[in-house]
Amino acid sequence: MGRNESKMVSLNKNYGTKDSLRQPQLDRIAHIQPYLKTVWENIRIVWEDTLGRIGMIILIFFILLAIFGPLIAPYGAYEKCRAPDGTLKRMQPPSWRHPLGTTYYGRDVLSQVILGTRQVVLVGFISALMVVVVGTNIGLITGYYKGNIDNFLMRLTDIVYGIPFLPFSMVLISIIGKGVSSIIIAIVVILWRSTARVIRSQVLSLRERPFVLALKVAGASDFRVIYKHIAPNILPMVFLYASFAIAWAVAAEASICFLGLGDPNTISWGQILFYAFLTKGVNSPYWWIIPPGICIMLLVMSAFFIGRAYEKVVNPQLRER
């Protein structure tokens, strides 16, 4: 582990030395600048990897689809499509009017898939962000303050590890009601644990470094040490876990919706599959179940690819292999 960390620190080598010379009024901008710079640097690193680039292209495609979906989709998500003579177009195979066919309820599958993107991407990103923010902060605090706080929060992590995710979210959503925010809450409440554990182990070794000791001797407050000096060093790890969190969150959202716990007024890929399974069981027509499944797979895979490409930053040894 020791070798990796020295690389990670050197990524931010311009950091932590000059800030005492800066004017106080510039301090606020100086806080954000290294973070922003790291973000751009990281995107560049992922782009240089073949699989990472593929992942990024897929991700950007789905983000665009989520934003402009309602402009592209030919029909509404729950619109009943009728033939000219007024009969419902049930389970029609793909045709020019309906490139991905229709469902048992006469809804256009292509439109449902396009319109479903928004909820998936939204839940994926918001919950990944929240998972990472919660997990990182808990990791930073537990790693930095040893003793009781650490013990307490790590026991809490152990308990959360003991809770099976899907059964828990089923109960939780029964309590707080169906909806997009309920899904996000269920995901965040459980999934912060792995980020917290990994960040903690990083901080545990960082806090023993000379630069941290020097800061303490110089009289820096704990808050300053944690967020200005330790946090930038664990950023690569945070980005890595953010990309994994997107993958987990998208898969989790699909699973929850598939179990019928999604908001019935919105549409998402998991929900399309839920309706298919509800009406036709496994023996649904291929045009109904293949497209949403492929979308879930591609989106999760893109996040994994980005994570794998990015892992080379966190673990430079991987590059030689």
In the complex, which residues of this chain contact other proteins (CB under 8 A)? 151, 155, 158-159, 161-168, 170-172, 174-175, 177, 194, 247, 251, 254-255, 258-260, 270, 273, 277, 282-284, 286, 289-290, 293, 296-298, 300-301, 304-305, 308, 317-318, 321
Closest CA to 310 of 39, 3, 120, 57: 39
Q: Using the minimum distance from each CB to other proteins, give the nearer residue, 154 or 220.
A: 154
Closest CA to 197 of 157, 237, 165: 157
Q: Using the minimum distance from each CB to other proteins, give the nearer residue, 180 or 254.
A: 254
Contact call for residues 135 and 195 (beta carbons, < 8 A):
yes
Show contacts of 145-150: CB within 8 Å, 24+ apart: 145/222, 150/200
| C-alpha to C-alpha distance for 302 and 52, rounded to whole angstroms | 8
Residue 270: HSE in the Cβ half-sphere, 13 Å Cα cutoff: 26
Least separation in angstroms between residue 173's CB and other proteins is: 9
Q: Using the minimum distance from each CB to other proteins, give the nearer residue, 86 or 177.
A: 177
Q: Using the minimum distance from each CB to other proteins, give the nearer residue, 67 or 159.
A: 159
Q: Using the minimum distance from each CB to other proteins, give the nearer residue, 239 or 305.
A: 305
Least separation in angstroms between residue 61's CB and other proteins is: 16
Cα–Cα distances in angstroms (integers) from residue 111 to residues 53, 256, 286, in the given order:
28, 21, 16
Least separation in angstroms between residue 57's CB and other proteins is: 16
Least separation in angstroms between residue 175's CB and other proteins is: 5
Least separation in angstroms between residue 231's CB and other proteins is: 23
Q: For tokens 């751009």, what's the residue?
A: 40
Least separation in angstroms between residue 104's CB and other proteins is: 16
| C-alpha to C-alpha distance for 99 and 36, rounded to whole angstroms | 42
| C-alpha to C-alpha distance for 24 and 30, rounded to whole angstroms | 10
Cα–Cα distances in angstroms (integers) from residue 27 to residues 128, 216, 219, 231, 271, in the given order:
29, 20, 18, 16, 48
Q: Using the minimum distance from each CB to other proteins, give the nearer residue, 215 or 237.
A: 237
Least separation in angstroms between residue 296's CB and other proteins is: 6
3-class DSSP assignment, residue 38: helix
Residue 319 identity: R
Q: Using the minimum distance from each CB to other proteins, give the nearer residue, 98 or 178.
A: 178
Contact call for residues 65 and 122 (beta carbons, < 8 A):
no
Least separation in angstroms between residue 233's CB and other proteins is: 23
Q: Using the minimum distance from each CB to other proteins, give the nearer residue, 56 or 215.
A: 56
